[in-house]
């Protein structure tokens, strides 16, 4: 019976398994390998992930880069306010999440520094539309006054280490408010070994939005409205993937964000270039058109990301894998360990 309720995706995670800091070396994290055809689980280390790859495979990574999206400021009244930028618009406008004792009304002014203020123009659903005023491009002002927005389950202030470690080594395209965390395990040396093994590495872009942390509130999953994220899959990537498929290679997606972008681009059965927002909600019952292998971290209970993983690896096997990870003290969430799901192919 296909799981269709939010409660189907609940599990208990002891707090001490939520990783609060990254390991000293990215690739020394643990790796739980899940082979769906054999329903087999294997405990490994990420630095040995190449053992699970073949020369004909294509490894697809998300080259988005986290920008300092969180601002702390105050209203005219002096009340504190926290702003998390979700999406840039033209002319230094942006859609943002605001945390305040009371929601500011249109026309309200917010102050973040002597040279960075914003006017509230209105609302679009749960987001606020702000017009920022600064002496430069908004992204440059954020680099001066903003901070990296660590996920809410990391219970400590941002420090200097996070500026480098909450980024992938290949992240180039600024626009994400959260890291594509499966990619945090890769080092330049590991990627070079993978290329020398004959595996092609290509990049897509999906800018992770704050919606990735928003809880699913509908008990009946078909009622859930998925958040939008901007993504781009180029013609070059499509050509490489088509050739891989013709050569009986496998498409390996690094992260749920990469999988979501690729499956969006292949929604008609064959992968095509794609450059706009996606609101694809992948849950059990979804038919995959592109991705054969998924590398991912461990996700929160009742999250849309756990639903995606369960759709890819099979609900029963994935929930069994999560329990194994808990029993064996794997580290969970953004700075935690990884899982590799290999579908039969």
Q: How far apart are CA 94 and CA 181, in angstroms?
A: 24
Do 193 and 308 belong to one domain? yes
Structure tokens, 175: 């626009």
Is 315 inside a domain boundary? yes
- In terms of domains, do 62 and 76 share one? no
Q: Is the dihedral of CA 253, 26, 334, 137 positive or negative?
A: negative
**Total of domains in the chain:** 2
Helix/strand/coil for 223: helix
Is 47 within the bounds of a domain? Answer: yes
- 210 or 199, greater pLDDT: 199
Q: What is the mean pLDDT of residues 111-138?
A: 94
**Residue 137 sits in the same domain as residue 168:** no
Same-domain status, 192 and 312? yes
110 and 246: one domain? no
The set of residues, in sequence order, having a beta carbon less than 8 Å from that of 80 and lying 6+ positions away, is 72, 73, 74, 100, 101
The rounded mean pLDDT for the chain is 95
Q: Is the pLDDT of residue 210 over 80?
A: no
pLDDT in tens, 186-197: 999 999 999 999
248 and 330 in a single domain? The answer is yes
Out of 145, 171, 195, a domain closes at 145
CATH number at residue 233: 3.40.1780.10
Pairing label, strands 229-233, 173-176 = unpaired
* pLDDT at 320 exceeding the cut of 80: yes
Shared-domain flag, residues 190 and 313: yes
Two tokens at 65? 């880069």
Residue 3 pLDDT: 87
Residue 304 lies in a domain: yes
Structural element, H or E, at residue 68:
none
Strands (E), 89-176: 93-100, 109-113, 116-124, 127-133, 173-176
Task: State the pairing for strand pair 293-297/338-342.
Answer: antiparallel
Q: Are 7 and 288 in contact (CB under 8 A)?
A: no
Question: Do 295 and 177 share a structural domain?
Answer: yes
Q: Quick one: 34 and 122 in the same domain?
A: no
Same domain, 138 and 19: no
Whether residue 211 lies inside any domain: the answer is yes
Pairing of strands 109-113, 70-75: antiparallel
| 1 falls within a domain | no
pLDDT digits (tens, 9 = 90+) for 64-106: 999 999 999 999 999 999 999 988 898 999 999 999 998 999 9
Percent of the chain beyond pLDDT 90? Answer: 89
Provide the domain limits for residue 123: 70-145
Task: Give the tens place of pLDDT for each residue, 297-318.
Answer: 999 999 999 999 999 999 999 9
State the pTM of this model: 0.94
pLDDT at residue 48 is higher than 90: yes
Interatomic CA distance for residues 182 and 205, integer angstroms = 14
Name the pLDDT band for 345 (thresholds 50, 70, 90): low
Which of the listed residues 111, 145, 179 is the one where a domain comes to its end? 145
Out of 145, 172, 198, pick the residue that ends a domain.
145
Candidates 316, 286, 292; CA nearest to 304 is: 286
pLDDT of residue 138: 93
Residues 175, 305 share a domain: yes
Are 17 and 83 in a shared domain? no
Chain mean position to CA 46: 19
Q: Is the pLDDT of residue 327 over 90?
A: yes
Q: Is the dihedral of CA 177, 181, 183, 188 positive or negative?
A: positive
CATH code for the domain of 132: 2.40.10.240
């Amino acid at each position: 019976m296909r799981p269709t309720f939010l409660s189907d995706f609940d599990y208990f995670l002891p707090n001490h398994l939520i990783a609060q800091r990254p390991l000293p070396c990215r690739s020394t994290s643990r790796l739980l390998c899940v082979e769906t055809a054999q329903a087999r689980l294997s405990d490994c280390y990420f630095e040995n992930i190449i053992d699970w790859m073949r020369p004909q495979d294509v490894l697809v990574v998300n080259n988005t880069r986290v920008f300092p999206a969180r601002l702390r400021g105050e209203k005219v009244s002096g009340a504190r306010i926290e702003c998390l930028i979700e999406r840039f618009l033209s002319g230094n406008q942006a859609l943002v999440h605001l945390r305040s004792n009371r929601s500011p009304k249109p026309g309200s002014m917010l102050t973040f520094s002597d040279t960075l203020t914003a006017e509230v123009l209105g609302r679009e659903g749960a987001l606020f539309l702000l017009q920022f005023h600064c002496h430069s491009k908004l992204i440059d002002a954020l680099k001066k006054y903003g901070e990296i927005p660590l996920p809410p389950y990391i219970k400590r202030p941002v420090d200097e280490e996070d500026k480098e470690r909450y980024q992938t080594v290949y992240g180039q395209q600024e626009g994400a408010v959260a890291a594509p965390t499966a990619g945090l395990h890769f080092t330049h040396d590991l990627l070079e070994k993978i290329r020398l093994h004959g595996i092609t590495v290509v990049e897509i872009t999906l800018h992770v939005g704050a919606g990735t942390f928003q809880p699913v509130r509908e008990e009946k999953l078909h009622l859930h409205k998925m958040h939008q994220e901007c993504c781009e899959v180029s013609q070059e990537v499509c050509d490489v993937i088509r050739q891989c498929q013709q050569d009986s290679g496998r498409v390996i997606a690094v992260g749920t964000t990469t999988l979501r972008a690729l499956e969006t681009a292949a929604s008609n059965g064959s992968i095509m270039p794609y450059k706009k927002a996606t609101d694809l909600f992948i849950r059990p019952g979804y038919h995959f058109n592109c991705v054969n292998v998924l590398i991912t971290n461990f996700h929160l209970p009742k999250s849309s990301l756990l639903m995606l993983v369960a759709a890819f690896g099979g609900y029963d096997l994935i929930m069994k894998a999560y329990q194994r990870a808990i029993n064996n003290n794997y580290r969970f969430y953004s700075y935690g360990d990884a899982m590799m799901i290999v579908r039969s192919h």
